[in-house]
Amino acid sequence: MSWNNPGSDINTPTRTIIHLDLDAFFCAVEELHNPRLAGKAFAVGGRPEQRGVVASCSYPARNKGVHSAMPMAQAIKLCPGLIVLPARHSEYSRVSRQVMKRLHRLTPLVEQISIDEAFLDVTDPFADGFIIASSLQATIREELSLPCSLGVATNKLVAKIATDVGKAAHRSQASPKAITVVAPGEEAAFLAPLPVDALWGVGPKTASRLAQLGITTIGELAAFPPVELRRIFGKNGQDLATHARGIDDRPVITSHTIKSVSQEVTFARDTSDETTLLTTLNDLCESCAARLNESRLSGSTIKLKIRWPDFSTVSRQTTLSQPTDQAPHIQAAASLLFQRIWKGQAVRLLGVGIGNLVTSPRQFSLWDHPTEEDTLTHAD
């Protein structure tokens, strides 16, 4: 397979972008800790009696119709006997960092887009994308015992869709472990038969509007006059026309600016039990701390959100003198805010957020005292 750009200098290589997606990542980590889960229908997420949702599910569960973001109660109806496990975010973050270290060994051009996904730019005039992807897949399997699927193409858009297509074509009781390669010049042909909602930026509303125009596949979108797409969809219309042809010149970005991290939970029943509320608050703070550690960030603004049974919402925040990524420090600040807001009322939702993030944490002093900035909002 030649990856040189047709019509260009022979020494100018076409980009080789790999998209990596860890197969059912949370479940794969759980199987590492408990091999007896292998081949069984199980899900990671919240308890059904607490309005929990599915964060991840095994492939045997997926074959029963279970999917991520589904209410856990519905998942259990679809898959009787479904094993439900609580999420262990700190462990998933630890394993994710091990995966990303392997990617950085291969190239410094790594863009992590989630805990279990990343893009790599491995452009090299003498390298074969399939061989690189196969070697990387084998390394992650042999060193970390984790399955993954990969897409290889000349740009991020097509590489990501290639991964999705490969995984969809390998549905079974086991992880897909797919590698899908789209050769240079074949991008438009690869995309043409796929549904329009496979494209980035095409959500339900846009897909519905396109269907009204008689456009249901990416090929039909590519054939539609770009000027009409711009007239109907504005700037997004130009992006639709370009992406439908498999064109995407965005680079692999090696760093992102994260403005805040947050976690919240909606209780199965409105509760005024102080023990339940404080335990939940501590769990939320620990989850936020795990996400901060995963991203190598610290924050100095701690925000607490409480929603009452009438759906009105109160939020308050406090600013620490120095950033922190430690759960005890976050819990201490959030608890002070909770004591200021809560006076025994029933609570529907509880949330914690961390803002004013920095990448170079300083040592937090236990003698520091926060200064509060209170805000009060009401939501329908």
Distance in angstroms (rounded) separating the CA atoms of residues 266 and 289:
20
Contacts of 73 (CB under 8 A, 6+ apart): 48, 49, 51, 52
Catalytic residue list contains 117? yes
Q: Which residue has the tokens 């790999």?
A: 18
Distance in angstroms (rounded) separating the CA atoms of residues 242 and 235:
11
Check 30, 91, 111, 117 and give the catalytic one.
117
Tokens, residue 321: 């003198």
Q: Which amino acid is at 253?
A: I
Distance in angstroms (rounded) separating the CA atoms of residues 161 and 3:
19
DSSP 8-state class, residue 48: G
Distance in angstroms (rounded) separating the CA atoms of residues 70 and 55:
8
For residue 118, the cross-strand partners are 20, 112
Q: Is residue 170 within 8 Å of 205, Cβ to Cβ?
A: no
**DSSP-based three-state secondary structure for 198:** helix
Distance in angstroms (rounded) separating the CA atoms of residues 286 and 106:
32
Q: Which residue has the tokens 């097509």?
A: 158
Residue 204 — φ and ψ, nearest 5°? -55, -40
Q: Which residues are catalytic?
A: 117
